[in-house]
A and B are shown apart, each in its own frame.
Chain A
Amino acid sequence: MEITVEKQEGVTIVRLPGEQLDASNAKDFKRDIASILAPASKVVFDLSQLRFVDSSGLGAMLSCLRQVNSAGGELKLCGLSKPVRALFELVRMHRIFDICDTKDDAVRVLQT
């Protein structure tokens, strides 16, 4: 899984590749993201390419949130497509995660 990482004003922005995060690639995602999250305290997951998430994908993102939170950092999500947003709302994960409309919004919130 080729995760794209960029830095913007002290914030680590992670773009998830591919249209789905599910049982087929959630394990790879967790493995690859671990080293990126370790030194980062302010993180944005850009989900704009994502069209489908299942419970293993949600579980992987939840693990990331817990990892960042336990290290005293913050994680925001942005760019959720309509079906992914609907899924988050169905399982009430939109309350657990901080979700911003755009990447710039997320960076701005993290800098305040």
Chain B
Amino acid sequence: MAENNSTVVKPLCEDITTLDALTESPQPPVPLLRRAQDPCVFVIFGASGDLTGRKLIPGLYNLACQELLPSRFSVVGYAITPLDGHGFRQQMRERVRRSPDVLAFRDRLWEDFAPALHYVSGDFENPEDYRRLATFLAEIDAQHGSGGNRLFYLATPPSCYGSIVHNLAEHRLVHRSGDSGGWTRVIVEKPFGRDLESARRLNALIHQAFEEDQIYRIDHYLGKETVQNILAFRFANSIIEPIWNRNYIDHVQITAAETLGVEHRARYYEEAGCLRDMFQNHLMQLLALIAMEPPVRYDRQSVRDRKADVFRAIFPIRMEQLDQLAVRGQYGAGQVDGVAAPAYRAEPDVALDSGTETFAALKMTMDNWRWAGVPFYLRSGKRLARKLTMVSIEFKRVPHLFFAHTAHDQIEPNVLTIRLQPDEGISLKLGAKAPGPEMHIRQMQMDFSYADAFGEFPATAYETLLLDALQGDPTLFNRNDAVELSWRILQPVLETWQASRAAAPFPNYSAGGWGPAAADELLIRDGRVWRNTAALPRFYLTDVNK
């Protein structure tokens, strides 16, 4: 047992000094994280914005509590809002104290962390302000021995990226790989462009100052435990991979449903719509993780190569096929969870004749060996019946059923459901003999719940990704080719829908429903139905949607 424990635990942590004490444990205990080693200054552009207080500083605080930040680490907030370091620390203390994402707020831990926080007030376009920033960073380097290592976080609207990147380069705040004077990395928030052309321009703009391996395009979805678990589930279990292909899988559904409406994001959402807001990033990333070939190793190159392969394999959606492959919708008034909800066009800051889609569904197919002939149905929408993000893998039916009392079409196919939220976990539907003297087949469900198996730790997507960036590991960040490829797939849909916005038949679904009827028809044409719940449905194709 002792030897067994040491072989399992040892690779997880470099600096364990108390292994002997663990040998009494009956099994390996818990995953261990590796502390970031390089000293560093973390510079947040847009530090007075919501993301900083809601996700970034709570994430860094959690990392600090677990001693995962480098021993010499500083944060510099940069924004136009007039504020000094003391004021910034006070604001951030309140945000962390009230954050649902922190492990636990403790004064002692905050006092340890807070001295690392600094603030520089400056304009994103004013060269003089960048000179002050450069001077301040040099002072921090001198005081704390950061060695010139910089991690920049662009938590600003994308329209500011150009001037920030230009000024960072102008003021020699970017060191190329191999330069002396420390490393430089930049984290770029989504949305990364609004179509293929703008994504290309944005890539070109950032590449003027940064090499690709210095750029970390963040999509917090990829830091979620349940999303990362897709790879673990597929490739850490020998029984899964042999059936993960067109020979056994009938089709795949990916659903990201929200009960909320547009909330305070109407101005952004009016310009973006559901396809840009959810498909280009989150849903395409889920699709890539479900469909990718096994990477050679878990690293920046292999994983991201295989994901890009998925996007390359997707059949282009031709405009003349659009009616058969894509559905858009916009919610009208209705009821969500028994509460009246206004129509999208009645929301504040939304045009009365808005042509923006709040729902989209796409059917995609792939031109590769593994997935030939297997459709992937993707959908997302606002003001739907239930908050639900899940992937359903529906397997093929048994070829022949010899049980006399069970009709073939009353046996559900096996369905593997990966629940990303809520109630994170995985379930598998199987046929089983119902108790009794006769052979009747009924469906049962094997279920794995994340909370039951691993406890309810707070959300950690941002801190996972921040730690990765500090350690120089971009595996869970989007690479330029994948970003452009995913835009290219969606481009015909975006263009066609944009051109016909005025004629869009909106609203075409009621708040609290499951989207427009055309979305159901997208599957019914293929003899399939959407899965609207992770729970066991009753009978296939008969009352599953009731």
Interface residues of A (CB under 8 A from B): 20, 23, 26-27, 51-60, 62-63, 65-66, 69, 82-83, 85-87, 89-92, 95-98
Contacts and interface: CB of A to CB of B under 8 A. Distances in A.
Main secondary structure of the interface of B (DSSP, over half): loop
Interface in B346-384: none
Interface stretch (B27-35, B38-46, B508-516): B27-35
A54 B104 contact: no
A86 B18 contact: yes
B455 A56 contact: yes
B457 interface: yes
B452 A55 contact: no
B457 A90 contact: no
Interface in B1-57: 13, 16, 18, 21-22, 24-27, 29-32
A58 B30 CA distance: 9
B106 interface: yes
A23 B452 CA distance: 7
Given A27-B452, A59-B456, A65 B104 contact: yes
B30 A87 contact: yes
A62 B67 contact: no
A53 B29 contact: yes
A96 B63 CA distance: 11
A66 B16 CA distance: 27
Range class of the B interface residue count:
20 to 34
A54 B66 contact: no
Given A23-B452, A57-B455, A62-B455, A83 B30 contact: no
Contacts of B32: 90-91
B24 A54 contact: no
Given A90-B18, A95-B66, A96-B106, A83 B454 contact: no
Contacts of A92: 65-68
A76 B529 CA distance: 52
A54 B105 contact: no
8 contacts: A20-B26, A23-B453, A55-B31, A59-B456, A86-B18, A86-B22, A90-B16, A95-B66
The winner among B13, B21, B457 for most chain A CB atoms within 10 A is B21
Contacts of B458: 66
A111 to B, nearest CB: 18
Contact of A66 (B29, B65, B104): B104
Interface of B: 13, 16, 18, 21-22, 24-27, 29-32, 65-68, 103-106, 109, 451-458
A80 B65 CA distance: 20
B104 A96 contact: yes
A66 B62 CA distance: 14
The winner among B30, B106, B453 for most chain A CB atoms within 10 A is B30
Pairs of residues from A and B, 5 with the lowest C-beta to C-beta distance, nearest first? A59-B455, A86-B21, A55-B30, A92-B66, A86-B18
A52 B455 contact: no
Given A57-B455, A86-B21, A89-B18, 18 more contacts: A23-B452, A26-B452, A51-B24, A54-B30, A62-B103, A62-B456, A66-B103, A83-B21, A85-B21, A90-B16, A90-B29, A91-B30, A92-B67, A95-B66, A96-B66, A96-B103, A96-B104, A97-B104
A63 B455 contact: yes
B66 A60 contact: no
B13 A90 contact: yes
Given A53-B29, A87-B29, A87-B30, A58 B455 contact: yes
A64 B127 CA distance: 50
A51 B24 CA distance: 8
Nearest to A27: B452
Contacts of A86: 18, 21-22
B115 to A, nearest CB: 17
B24 A55 contact: no
A69 B16 contact: no
Contacts of B103: 62, 66, 96
A97 B32 CA distance: 18
B504 to A, nearest CB: 45
A60 B104 contact: no
